[in-house]
Amino acid sequence: MSITLDAKIPEGPLADKWDNYKENERLVNPANKRKFKIIVVGTGLAGASACATLAELGYQVEAFTFHDSPRRAHSIAAQGGINAAKNYRGDGDSIHRLFYDTIKGGDFRSREGNVHRLAQVSVDIIDQMVAQGVPFAREYGGMLDNRSFGGAQVSRTFYARGQTGQQLLLGAYQQMARQVGLGNVKLWNRMELVDVVVIDGRCAGIVTRDLMTGEVSSHSAHAVVLATGGYGNAFFLSTNAMTCNVTAAWRAHRKGALFANPCYTQIHPTCIPQADDFQSKLTLMSESLRNDGRVWVPANLDETRPPDQIPEDERDYYLERLYPSFGNLAPRDISSRAAKRAVDSGRGVGPLKNGVYLDFSEAIGRLGADVVKERYGNLFEMYERITGEDPYTVPMRIYPASHYTMGGIWVDYELMTTIPGLYAAGEANFSDHGANRLGASALMQGLADGYFVLPYTVSNYLAPFLNKPIPDTSHEAFKLAEREAADRFSRYLSIGGTRSPDYFHRELGKIIWDYCGMERNQQGLEKALSEIPALYDEFQKDLNVTGDGESTNQTLEKAGRVEDFFELGMLMCHDALDREESCGGHFRSEHQTEEGEALRDDDNFAHVSAWEWTGDPTSPNLHREDLAYEEVKLQTRSYK
Amino acid sequence: MTTTLKDLTLKIWRQKGPNDAGRFETYDIPEISDEASFLEMLDILNERLIESGLEAIVFDHDCREGICGTCSLMIDGHAHGPQRGTATCQLHMRQFTSGDTIVIEPFRATSFPIIKDLMVDRAAFDRIVEVGGFISAATGGAPDGNLIPVPKPVADASMDAAACIGCGACVAACPNGAASLFTGAKLAHLNLLPQGQAERFKRAEAMVDTMDEYFGSCTNHGECEAACPKSISIDVIALMNADYRKAKFKNRKALSRT
């Protein structure tokens, strides 16, 4: 397939590009919008906000979620906050500074145009969410409060206790629910996307499976938005929710949507360390804790004393020592690798020696326990429930875990994939975070895409299709996709092997974590690329899915998702192997500075790697989109 | 910190579909670690069932961080189990004793019909939100976020109510199957804020009337507050009732002027 990757960045100076786009785009007249049907898959921040806004504008919207309610989407679990260039602190923030911090945080591997637009609309997001009744933290005078986050030297993060994601998602969900109540959004719950249908080179709709009855059915539309989140669960153990998966994105990829930078995965530095082999997921402790918590490990190998008996001069506050200007707020990739090095050096803490301390004793002494409780109370409670330890008296133990995926479906400036009419929004796309995402920027991007970008860009695509018929679900392409999906699920039920889907997921996750996790190298990646197909082969022969296909069957659902993770896992390793440099979350041990920091190769790798499905997961086809920097000078990231 | 292993017996409700008869089945599950969460214990059981060719137990769950509200379960007769202020996914096995028999049922309420085994349908909650659980603020025209100051105690009280995760434990725990804590929490979240005043009474009337279509009536037992994994106070029910009563007068007056 010959593909030209045109990002369609608008003309003009960087700060004017988005305005220029809006001035020149095609519009659909308000009375004609109801003639267009748009399907939105996923109801997290990006999906719910897109549903609400597109329906307010007058489009017919159909929303699909595999949850029982749109409010369950995993955006709800984001804790710390949302960035916006409001400069309410008067501390030197600006749209340009947020833009620059995001580009730099992403290790100069994201598109200037997209990131600048994100910084521009960030200020509108806060206004919008306040108007909708999100109970952001306030100061006593009634003004909005801010906190600091990693990778920034200004205080620009808005928050609602440790539940910012919950409150923002409820805000977006409520706006969407309003449109459901008004009859402008049709809501399909407990429905999972199982295929994307392309007819005459355009996205014509989707095929879904009803998770309560197993019924496979088709839905046609003028445009489809995938807002289906990231693929962090490829690692099995991650901070993602149990059902987070890559299926929607992967099914689109198999139908022609290129998948960009799959090796850019973010390992979050502050999660509760694994306690045992049967653990099902890892729990994040918000990065905001690093505002007041100090990270340390014992200076001595084989330290056995409890933390409160280790004197100050025998502790290594390694982030403060290595990165004095950012200290405990160094960006996520840098903090994660520093934790890994501390644990690998044998100075890990806890019963399995697999963590580092995050200590609040200094903050409790300085601020008092009440202030600390007000800021982080719910996180401390969560920690205590999981570990049985009280962080007010014993330092937390933390360790990095898979948390977010910067890679995703390739999209242009309009958030359109390489399949015309198919869009990807939020974590599902690859566009704004480069090789590393800064804290409190995921919520910003999800809402930017759904509230302030898609509602503009969709009309530019739809306008020429006014009053033209679209293929309906009786089209042969829909029928074929339905048959293929039904056959796939019957196949899982008929293998009759001995192992559960979870077994294969766990084994696959181990391979990806060991060889394509926090640190990668050629030898390991090649090993992974020989082990994954072997395990995949075993999956196809020895899988056991009990139950039937005509009622709720979570084992069957899981089998489909695990199969897609197998194919994605291979692509992640291919991408990591191809990218012979270190940048952001992608750290190749062959490419590091003498001090162990990431060593980029801008001459050869200042591009987006966008992979094409060839029908064979072991030999994907690579396309490149060169990243042109007009505003920013590429430089080595330094947080020292 | 030492990890201890426990041998447990589980009595679990199995039901093939919404219209089938259900029954308890008993499972012995040895050597469960203290570090396991309650749902990880069910994962272990399910994996053992699958590998012996039996159908896994269906239960709703997702984030496992106590925030998405997907998980449910009546555990020994308590919604979300015996630990106060804790969702099932955050309940850990250190709360139980070796040799215990644990009874696990789906949330019990007529308004939450059983889908299969331990999974119930809580869609009625969405219907309540759809009629008024929002502030009508279409995208695009919002004024600056700091234009309307919100006093900190007001923002805090609103946030206390907004912490509701929509799990339905309040309904499951209520002898009447009432949804007053859920509805009251959403009303308190929005009605306390200055932004929520314009639609305050319309919202109260619409949400309460819709709630009454699906759920039983509140008689102030207070079981809901005790079961709530976010410990939301039943004060929100008093606020709801006050606003609903006022709404009945104010909305009539507003109508008569048109």
**What span, in angstroms and rounded, lies between the C-alpha atoms of A160 and A375?**
10
Name the 3-class secondary structure at A420: coil
Q: Please tell me if residue A53 touches chain B, with a CB cutoff of 8 Å.
A: yes
Check B40 against A279: CB less than 8 A apart: yes
Q: Does domain A16-26+34-80+107-134+161-267+404-465 have CATH number 3.50.50.60?
A: yes
Check A351 against B61: CB less than 8 A apart: no
Contacts of A546 in chain B (CB under 8 A): 49-50, 53-56
Q: Write the pLDDT tens digit of every residue in A164-211.
A: 999 999 999 999 999 999 999 999 999 999 999 999 999 999 999 999
Nearest Cα residue in chain B from A240: B63
Could you write out the DSSP letters of every residue in A63-105?
A: EE-SSSSGGGSGGGG--S-EE----TT-SS--HHHHHHHHHHH
Confidence of residue B250 (pLDDT cuts 50, 70, 90): confident
Q: Is residue B255's pLDDT more than 60?
A: yes
For residue A152, what are the β-bridge partners?
A: none
ipTM over 0.85: yes
Give the mean model confidence (pLDDT) for residues B220-244.
97
Contacts of A212 in chain B (CB under 8 A): 115-116
* Residue of B39, B51, B67 to mutate, testing the A interface (most A Cβ within 10 Å of its Cβ): B67
- What is the bridge-based pairing of β-strands A60-64 and A185-188? parallel
Interface subset of A 470-509, CB within 8 angstroms of B: 498-500, 502-503
Q: Write the pLDDT tens digit of every residue in B82-119.
A: 999 999 999 999 999 999 999 999 999 999 999 999 99
Cβ-Cβ pairs closer than 8 A, A with B, add up to 232
Cα-flanking dihedrals φ and ψ of residue A572, to 5°?
Answer: -55, -45
**Other residues' Cβ atoms within 10 Å of the Cβ of residue A604:** 10
All CATH 1.10.1060.10 domain ranges in chain B, comma separated: 122-257
Query: Picking from A97-111, A147-161, A453-467, A538-552, which range would have the lowest pLDDT averaged per residue?
Result: A147-161
Q: Is residue B256's pLDDT more than 80?
A: no
**Other residues' Cβ atoms within 10 Å of the Cβ of residue B213:** 11
* Residue of A45, A53, A134 to mutate, testing the B interface (most B Cβ within 10 Å of its Cβ): A134
Q: Please tell me if residue A306 touches chain B, with a CB cutoff of 8 Å.
A: no
**What span, in angstroms and rounded, lies between the C-alpha atoms of B238 and A471?**
54
Check B62 against A451: CB less than 8 A apart: no
Q: How many residues does chain A have?
A: 640
Q: Please tell me if residue B53 touches chain A, with a CB cutoff of 8 Å.
A: yes
* Residue of B50, B122, B186 to mutate, testing the A interface (most A Cβ within 10 Å of its Cβ): B50
Q: Is residue A57's pLDDT more than 60?
A: yes
What confidence score (pLDDT) does residue A520 get?
A: 97
Q: First and final CA of chain A: distance in angstroms?
A: 46
Residues with Cβ < 8 Å from A533, sequence gap 6 or more?
A570, A617, A618
Give the mean model confidence (pLDDT) for residues A7-36.
97
Nearest Cα residue in chain A from B119: A552
* Residue of A67, A138, A139, A452 to mutate, testing the B interface (most B Cβ within 10 Å of its Cβ): A138
Shortest Cα–Cα distance, B179 to chain A (Å)? 17
Confidence of residue A337 (pLDDT cuts 50, 70, 90): very high
Choose the CATH number for B5-116 among 3.30.870.10, 3.20.20.80, 3.40.50.620, 3.10.20.30.
3.10.20.30
- 3-state SS of A356-412 is EEEECHHHHHHHCHHHHHHHHHHHHHHHHHHHCCCCCCCCEEEEEEEEEECCEECCC
Q: Which two tokens stand for residue A165?
A: 């994601």
Q: Which two tokens stand for residue A36?
A: 């267009």
Q: Write the pLDDT tens digit of every residue in A364-391.
A: 999 999 999 988 888 898 899 999 999 9
Q: Output the CA–CA distances (angstroms, integers) from residue A632 to A21, A103, A111, A112, B9, in the order listed.
A: 21, 8, 11, 8, 63
Residues with Cβ < 8 Å from A457, sequence gap 6 or more?
A25, A413, A414, A415, A416, A423
CA atoms within 13 A on the CB side of A538: 14
**What span, in angstroms and rounded, lies between the C-alpha atoms of A605 and A434?**
12
Instruction: Put the strands of the sheet holding B22-33 in their side by side order.
Output: B22-33, B5-15, B101-105, B74-75, B78-79
Which of B39, B63, B126 faces A74 most closely, judged by CB atoms? B63
Alpha helical stretches, state H, A273-354: 318-322, 332-342
Residue from A636, A238, A156, A77 nearest B65 by CA: A77
CB A274 within 8 A of CB A237: yes
Which of A140, A452, A546 faces B54 most closely, judged by CB atoms? A546
Q: Output the CA–CA distances (angstroms, integers) from residue A571 to A110, A261, A363, A617, A625, in the order listed.
A: 20, 9, 44, 7, 18
Position of tokens 């006050």? B242
**What span, in angstroms and rounded, lies between the C-alpha atoms of B164 and B185?**
7
- 3-state SS of A592-640 is ECCCCCECCCHHHHCEEEEEECCCCCCCCEEEEEECCCCCCCCCCCCCC
Domain extents for chain A?
A: 16-26+34-80+107-134+161-267+404-465, 273-402, 476-618
CATH class of A273-402: alpha beta
Check A180 against B130: CB less than 8 A apart: yes
All CATH 3.10.20.30 domain ranges in chain B, comma separated: 5-116
Who has greater pLDDT, A577 or A287?
A577
Residues with Cβ < 8 Å from B45, sequence gap 6 or more?
B10, B27, B29, B57
CA atoms within 13 A on the CB side of B79: 27
Q: Is residue B253's pLDDT more than 90?
A: no
What confidence score (pLDDT) does residue B1 get?
A: 45
**Residues of A annotated as part of the active site:** 332
**What span, in angstroms and rounded, lies between the C-alpha atoms of B113 and A26?**
47
Q: Please tell me if residue B32 touches chain A, with a CB cutoff of 8 Å.
A: no
Question: Computed over its alpha carbons, how large is the radius of gyration of chain B?
Answer: 21
Interface subset of B 192-251, CB within 8 angstroms of A: 193, 195-196
Confidence of residue A4 (pLDDT cuts 50, 70, 90): confident
Q: Which fold has domain B122-257?
A: Fumarate Reductase Iron-sulfur Protein; Chain B, domain 2 (1.10.1060)
Which of B125, B135, B166 faces A131 most closely, judged by CB atoms? B135
Position of tokens 């009539």? B252
Cα-flanking dihedrals φ and ψ of residue A265, to 5°?
Answer: -120, 145
Position of tokens 């205080």? A155
Name the 3-class secondary structure at B20: coil
Contacts of B82 in chain A (CB under 8 A): none
Q: Please tell me if residue A274 touches chain B, with a CB cutoff of 8 Å.
A: no
CATH class of A476-618: mainly alpha
**What span, in angstroms and rounded, lies between the C-alpha atoms of A575 and A46?**
26
**What span, in angstroms and rounded, lies between the C-alpha atoms of A410 and A609?**
9
Is the alpha carbon torsion for A207, A165, B61, B176 positive or negative?
negative
Q: Is residue A624's pLDDT more than 70?
A: yes
**What span, in angstroms and rounded, lies between the C-alpha atoms of B207 and B213?**
10
Check A452 against B125: CB less than 8 A apart: no
Interface subset of B 139-198, CB within 8 angstroms of A: 139-140, 142-146, 148-152, 155-156, 158-159, 162-163, 165-166, 189-190, 193, 195-196
Contacts of A500 in chain B (CB under 8 A): 46-47, 50-51, 56
Confidence of residue A127 (pLDDT cuts 50, 70, 90): very high
Q: Write the pLDDT tens digit of every residue in B147-161.
A: 999 999 999 999 999
